[in-house]
Amino acid sequence: MYSGKKAFLVNGRGRYIDDINLLDMLYMSIYRSPYARARLKNIDGGLNSHELRAYYKAAVGEMADLSGGREDLKLYREPVLAIDYVNYVGQPIAAVFGKNKYDSEDKLSEVNVDFEPMQAVSSIDESLKSDPVHNGASSNILASYTLGTKFDEKDIDYDISLEDEFFNERILGNSIETRGCIADYRDGFLTFYASTQSVHSIKNGLASTLGLDRDKIRVIQADTGGAFGSKGGYYPEYLIAAYASMKYKKPVKWIETRSEYLMAAYAGRGVKSWAKIYAKNNGKITGIQVKLYVDAGAYDAGTGSFAPYFIGYQITGPYLIKNVYVEASSVITNKSPMGPYRGAGRPEASFIMERMIDLLADRIGKDPADVRLINASDVPFTSPTGLQVMDASRPFLEKALKTMNYYEISKNEKTGLSFFVLIPSTRPGESARIVSGDGHIKVYLGGDTHGQGHEAWARNIIKEYLNVDESLVTLENGDTKELDEGVGAWGSRSAIVGGSALVNACKKIREQVKSKFGEYAPDKLLNNHFDAEDFFSADFSLNSLNANMITARVLNHSVDITGWYCYYDLGNVLDMGNVIGQIQGGALEGIGQVLSEGIKYSDDGQLITNSISLAGLLKADDIPDKFHIHIAENPSDVPSHAKGLGESPTIGTPSALARAIELNTGRRVRITPIGPDYL
């Protein structure tokens, strides 16, 4: 039975961006590049870079920096509207405005652009051998890192060595609701409505790019129909809408189409790698070398410069390997910029390690579970890349195998395994606020809920610490007026840091009641105005061990997943219904990555998957026959005692499913998605 926020949305009473209509509002449409790479000889019509360039020269001195402000990356930052060149299909060139969405779409025909097409760089391999995409660059390498210590194989102890190559195609979240915003600038104050994972990141972006004082900006989150990473950042369209509202002195709405989303939203994955492991005949891995490349797209506007480091950092997962060396780089291509997709580097690292362990097990004739146990540790340890595995991995993995009944099931079923470490994005922490009065409690979180069900665990925390019935508690959407400081909802962080901030706020407001009345009682809280806020600082590392198991059959050129299993350490479970929903949804995304989902381009950089029907989303008959969800609760030291969850299914599912499929077919799985040709 649905309750609270869920019932509100299911009954059609949600207020999404496109449900908000302001008086005398303009509708914005974006003229986008039809070419992956071209010189702009002339732009005529619409709001374009010529006007914005003059504005920025006068207002803030330079074009907006959407790349995080690193001096060494300024060459690769994305302009708000294309200047001189376009570098991916869908890049914004000009904006037009109409009295409704049909009028604004018609006005796109009034924009005329003279293009001089250029040779596009459409793959990682092409990028490495092509001249630089950007003028002034010495190569197409955006960022490079080395992790661990370089070693000579003649100096380590091993009996066999194995190597392989892998590729995870780009992928997008494809949430039910596409991106959108409304900018309303009046009397020197900007009110900005957004479908977002973080009102605070958008406020910070608007302040820095518009040159406005932060106290002159309010960002309000509308109900948000999914995100999966793609709504966590700050996009050029947001700035264009805000500038247009300032220029025309009217509210401006932008709602992207699905085809625009597929072209221009920031995609995740897109990683090519080579790995070589050195091992003893008993399965003990004594060394691993990895070289990996990330497709950063045309600009460093998302996670492109950081992703290779983060993947390399966690390459060993829960395994104790003495010799580790990783060379990790990101490269520029003529595609939309790279951004986070659920997991954001974690699934890519796990896929490399887990697939190599399966290869080793096959070579030496041992059970893959036993090879994993041989390489696990009886004590916490720090890997040569700096990854702190905070719990002993071997006893946890032994418990996982027993709980999931691996050894019995694998006798009769084609079974894939995956063990991994989940690293949540806890830093720098998160905020929460509680406001009481009129018989009700309002809760605000710095990390905006966008479909995960934060309201469930927020109510449970209020009930546990303040003894207030769940029906009297409302989780409000993100609003920078109500909560001035915050971070965002991503990286498996919300229950850990947001939950901890809420626990601390509960303790503060309880003390306020006691201070005023001499004792705490729920009715005294509910019937009087109290207000408590906390920012839980998280300058620490926190991670957790987890395991997946999948059984599958390949019949008539299709994959039938007969069982999906997990054993996840969630610390303190704040709401079990929320946990089950997160796990099942994440599992389907991991399955989609393996079977069919991907963003594909032609050799000239044209988007092939340009409609939702071509994007490879799962159908109902792709859902596993049964989910077997097992939870370990080893509480963490934070106030909520929680550990991360959101990304775990997308980390553990791909490699486990790949193994189950290859056991059916007898052919190695190195690429996701496998696609129909493989089957």
Residue 182: phi and psi, rounded to 5, are: -135, 125
Q: Which residue has the higher pLDDT, 321 or 78?
A: 321
Q: What is the pLDDT of residue 1?
A: 29
Q: What is the pLDDT of residue 211?
A: 84
Q: Is the pLDDT of residue 5 over 70?
A: no
CA 390 to chain centre: 23
Say what percent of the chain tops pLDDT 90. Answer: 86
Distance CA 677, CA 667 (A): 12
Q: Which of 153, 158, 170, 123 is nearest to 286 (CA)?
A: 158
What are 204-248's pLDDT values in tens digits?
A: 999 988 889 999 999 999 999 888 988 988 899 999 999 999 999
Q: How many residues does the chain have?
A: 679
What are 125-138's pLDDT values in tens digits?
A: 999 999 999 999 99
Q: Is the pLDDT of residue 58 over 70?
A: no
Mean pLDDT, residues 390-411 taken together: 98
Confirm if 537 and 416 have CB atoms less than 8 A apart. Answer: no
Cis peptide before 428 (omega within 30 of 0): yes
Structure tokens at 226: 């999914």
Distance CA 579, CA 453 (A): 9
CA quadruple 40, 42, 45, 48: dihedral sign: positive
Q: Which residue has the higher pLDDT, 449 or 329?
A: 329
Q: Which of 109, 253, 174, 237 is nearest to 610 (CA)?
A: 174
The SS3 of residue 27 is: strand
Please list the alpha-helical segments (H only) found in 179-231: 199-210
Q: What is the pLDDT of residue 541?
A: 83
Mean pLDDT, residues 482-505 taken together: 95
Structure tokens at 407: 């050894």
Distance CA 300, CA 331 (A): 10
Q: What is the pLDDT of residue 75?
A: 82
In the structure, what pLDDT confidence band is assigned to residue 284 with cuts at 50, 70 and 90?
very high
Confirm if 256 and 237 have CB atoms less than 8 A apart. Answer: yes
Structure tokens at 207: 């302040």
In the structure, what pLDDT confidence band is assigned to residue 189 with cuts at 50, 70 and 90?
very high
Confirm if 663 and 414 have CB atoms less than 8 A apart. Answer: yes
The SS3 of residue 41 is: strand
Q: Is the pLDDT of residue 271 over 90?
A: yes
* DSSP labels, 477-543: PPBTTT-S----S-TT-IIIIIHHHHHHHHHHHHHHHHHHHSS--HHHHHTS-EEEEEEEE--S---
Q: Which residue has the higher pLDDT, 358 or 176?
A: 358
Mean pLDDT, residues 279-308 taken together: 95
Quick one: 102 exposed, middle or buried, by C-beta within 10 A (0-12, 13-18, 19+)?
A: exposed
In the structure, what pLDDT confidence band is assigned to residue 301 with cuts at 50, 70 and 90?
confident
Q: Is the pLDDT of residue 384 over 90?
A: yes
Confirm if 677 and 374 have CB atoms less than 8 A apart. Answer: no
Mean pLDDT, residues 447-460 taken together: 92
Mean pLDDT, residues 459-488 taken together: 96
The SS3 of residue 160 is: strand
In the structure, what pLDDT confidence band is assigned to residue 10 with cuts at 50, 70 and 90?
low
Residues 6+ apart with CB under 8 A from 613: none
N-term to C-term CA, the chain: 40
Q: Is the pLDDT of residue 4 over 60?
A: no
Q: What is the pLDDT of residue 2?
A: 34
Maximum average pLDDT range among 72-76, 81-85, 207-211 = 81-85
Q: Is the pLDDT of residue 56 over 60?
A: no
Q: Is the pLDDT of residue 113 over 50?
A: yes
Q: Is the pLDDT of residue 73 over 80?
A: no
CA 418 to chain centre: 20
* DSSP labels, 581-607: HHHHHHHHHHHHHHHT----B-TTS-B
What domains are defined for the chain?
A: 17-118+175-227+231-264 (3.30.365.10), 268-423+541-678 (3.30.365.10), 434-537 (3.30.365.10)
In the structure, what pLDDT confidence band is assigned to residue 63 with cuts at 50, 70 and 90?
very low
Q: What is the pLDDT of residue 448?
A: 85
In the structure, what pLDDT confidence band is assigned to residue 202 with cuts at 50, 70 and 90?
very high
Q: What is the DSSP letter of 571?
A: B
The pTM for the full model equals 0.94
Q: What is the pLDDT of residue 60?
A: 39
Distance CA 650, CA 609 (A): 22
Distance CA 331, CA 669 (A): 25
Mean pLDDT, residues 162-173 taken together: 97
Residue 175: phi and psi, rounded to 5, are: -65, 160
Buried b (16+ CB within 10 A) or exposed e, 538-553: beeebbbbbbbbbbbb
Strand partners, 32: 92
- Helices 454-466 and 499-517 sit at what angle, rounded to 10 degrees? 30
Q: Which of 463, 471, 469, 439 is nearest to 8 (CA)?
A: 471
What are 322-363's pLDDT values in tens digits?
A: 999 999 999 999 999 999 999 999 999 999 999 999 999 999
Q: What is the pLDDT of residue 54?
A: 63
Q: What is the pLDDT of residue 621?
A: 85
Confirm if 127 and 333 have CB atoms less than 8 A apart. Answer: yes
Mean pLDDT, residues 561-565 taken together: 97
Q: Is the pLDDT of residue 67 over 60?
A: no
Q: Is the pLDDT of residue 86 over 50?
A: yes
Distance CA 326, CA 349 (A): 11
Q: What is the pLDDT of residue 7?
A: 55
**Half-sphere CA count of 325, side-chain side, radius 13 A:** 11
Residue given tokens 């990790």 in the structure block: 328
Q: Residue type at 112? A: N
Confirm if 165 and 272 have CB atoms less than 8 A apart. Answer: yes
Distance CA 649, CA 584 (A): 8
Distance CA 304, CA 331 (A): 8
Ranges 2-16, 38-52, 442-456, 568-582: which has the least confidence: 2-16
Structure tokens at 335: 């595609």
User: Rounded mean pLDDT of the chain?
Assistant: 93
In the structure, what pLDDT confidence band is assigned to residue 11 with cuts at 50, 70 and 90?
low
Distance CA 171, CA 437 (A): 45
Q: What is the pLDDT of residue 233?
A: 85
Q: What is the pLDDT of residue 208?
A: 87
Q: Is the pLDDT of residue 595 over 60?
A: yes
